[in-house]
Amino acid sequence: MITIDITGRTPIYEQICKSVCGEIARGVYKENDRIPAARALAKELGLNPNTVAKAYSILERDGIIYSVAGKGCFVAKHEGKADKRLTEDFERKTKEALSAGVPKQTLIDIVESAAAEAEKGGNEQ
Amino acid sequence: MITIDITGRTPIYEQICKSVCGEIARGVYKENDRIPAARALAKELGLNPNTVAKAYSILERDGIIYSVAGKGCFVAKHEGKADKRLTEDFERKTKEALSAGVPKQTLIDIVESAAAEAEKGGNEQ
Amino acid sequence: MITIDITGRTPIYEQICKSVCGEIARGVYKENDRIPAARALAKELGLNPNTVAKAYSILERDGIIYSVAGKGCFVAKHEGKADKRLTEDFERKTKEALSAGVPKQTLIDIVESAAAEAEKGGNEQ
Amino acid sequence: MITIDITGRTPIYEQICKSVCGEIARGVYKENDRIPAARALAKELGLNPNTVAKAYSILERDGIIYSVAGKGCFVAKHEGKADKRLTEDFERKTKEALSAGVPKQTLIDIVESAAAEAEKGGNEQ
DNA sequence: GTGGTCTAGACCACG
DNA sequence: GTGGTCTAGACCACG
């Protein structure tokens, strides 16, 4: 399930990109699988079709999906790009925290406790 | 030293907040210490005074500093708020990555390698 | 109707915050209702847009409204924060007066007579 | 005991005025009593002498004290002006709250609970 | 159109 | 000198 947060600084199209990459990384969509039509997804999420179209065009530009006119969008042979996209924000924030002087161990502790909480919270997926 | 990154989505005033919190967390400024005058910092960074003033007023609202009109801004008894502010982005991105299905170990590996690189890169701090 | 008092020590942005909270508390705007666009309100009140924007951003930080860039500002699930904001100044002044030695009954008398006068003066609301 | 809050919007000289009025209203200083010398009070509170002098000159202008060159400042026949000064902020905030739509009873409840808390807290004075 | 950010510059009270 | 407030006006991303 894709959930969109209209509050906050992350643009909606970016959230869509992340969600699709997440589903690709988790194997929901495999290479050459068709992903949901932009218009259908827009309707489902109550978004402007242009917003979803923008997300898809970014994913295409990044080599994660490819589009076939009149057919739809499909997962490309992306060689891990989808996975990398999921962690690039995390990596940037890691570097920022480290350069601000936060000790490595503090960060690892945060990861551990977040993971423990996530495990406890829900066993879906 | 505070460095500002013009590119990217993080507003300048937010970067200033982070930098000041970093210096407080590292003990550069202790409780009731005076932090640099808004106008002086603006001049040093080549920014408009309003931008620094905005950052300072946010830090005051958050209880990390207090301002005395006509005197300056001082570090408040903030009870770890400065430290928390440095890691809250990291924590949010950790949770996002985990809920997207990224394995805990992948995140820890990223932290480790970023820390190794940071250590190699510069020995300041 | 929002009226602004230029004289006195209360900043304009604070008066806007109070006014908006008053309208939320009175039910003029309910949860998820859109409040007036910052620029429209500024024009109506003859103020600079930045002043209204400052008020709105404070209300957002306080969790009373949330903003959706490109859409507008909306009333948040604020759990009485709007009401509390309307009485916090009064409460502070109550405590100050009491600790200065003003008898409780004197304060109640003031409230009673102010309320009587307000009722007589105008029947709006 | 006079305590000064250097944070917040209330100027120091205004706080001094309030404190002196409070002591007059409570009968600590009676008509024609000498109040503390400005310079002595400044030293005691760690303030700039000009700040205390400003407070005293305002009290004199308002007819609450009178000064005798070379002798000091004394409590004037002020006919309740000192008491009124202690409640004028409270009265203003009462009116603001009422005009914002806060019910009279809510304000009275706040006074009652603040008084109850004050009684419980300390029995000094 | 909407909010978000930033620059530029002014004036003020306070101390 | 210092912070606080405000106006004026610009540019941007988003949708």
Interface mutation target, options A90, A99, A106, A110, chain B, most CBs of B under 10 Å: A90
**What is the CB-side half-sphere exposure of residue C55 using CA atoms within 13 A?**
24
Chain A residues whose CB is inside 8 A of the B96 CB are 18, 89-90
pLDDT of residue D125: 47
Q: Which of A115, A63, C100, B26 is nearest to D87 (CA)?
A: C100
Question: Is residue C98 situated within a structural domain?
Answer: yes
Amino acid letter, A111: V
Question: Is residue C7 situated within a structural domain?
Answer: no
d(CA C64, CA C79): 9
B20 and B34 fall within a common domain: yes
Chain D residues whose CB is inside 8 A of the C91 CB are 110, 114
pLDDT at D122 over 90: no
d(CA A102, CA B80): 13
% residues pLDDT > 90 (chain D): 90
H or E element that contains B74: strand B72-75
C65-68 vs C72-75, strand pairing mode: antiparallel
Q: Which nt has its C1' nearest the CA of C13?
A: F5
Amino acid letter, B99: S
Residue B48 (CA) to nucleotide E8 (C1'), in angstroms, measures 8
pLDDT digits (tens, 9 = 90+) for A48-71: 999 999 999 999 999 999 999 999
A16 and A49 fall within a common domain: yes
B19 and B47 fall within a common domain: yes
The CA–CA distances, whole Å, from B50 to B109, C84, C93 equal: 40, 30, 31
Amino acid letter, A120: K
pLDDT digits (tens, 9 = 90+) for D58-97: 999 999 999 999 999 999 999 999 999 999 999 999 999 9
CA angle B11, B15, B16 (to 5 degrees): 115
D27 and D65 fall within a common domain: yes
Q: Give the residue numbers in A contacting B (CB under 8 Å), as ranges.
A: 9, 18, 21-22, 25-26, 83, 86-87, 89-91, 93-102, 104, 106-108, 110-112, 114-115, 118, 125
pLDDT digits (tens, 9 = 90+) for A88-111: 999 999 999 999 999 999 999 999
Q: Which residue do the tokens 């609970």 mark?
A: D113
Domain span at A111: 81-119
Q: What is the mean pLDDT of chain C?
A: 94
pLDDT of residue C125: 46
Q: Which of C48, C61, C65 is nearest to C13 (CA)?
A: C48
CATH number of the structural domain spanning residue B55: 1.10.10.10
CA angle A24, A28, A32 (to 5 degrees): 65
Question: Is residue A4 situated within a structural domain?
Answer: no
H or E element that contains D55: helix D49-61
The answer to whether C8 CB is within 7 Å of strand E is no
The CA–CA distances, whole Å, from D72 to A63, D17, D38, D47, D56 equal: 85, 16, 8, 19, 11
B65 and B92 fall within a common domain: no
% residues pLDDT > 70 (chain A): 96
Question: Is residue A100 situated within a structural domain?
Answer: yes
d(CA A74, CA A66): 5
d(CA B115, CA B110): 8
pLDDT at B108 over 70: yes
C96 and C63 fall within a common domain: no
Question: Is residue B34 situated within a structural domain?
Answer: yes
Q: How many domains does chain A have?
A: 2
Judged by CB atoms closer than 8 Å, whether chains meet at D100 and C9 is answered as no
pLDDT at C81 over 60: yes
Q: Please name the chains neighbouring C, where neighbouring means 3+ C-beta pairs under 8 angstroms.
A: A, B, D
Question: Is residue C56 situated within a structural domain?
Answer: yes
What distance in Å separates residue A26's CA from the closest CA in chain B? 7
Average pLDDT over residues A108-124: 86
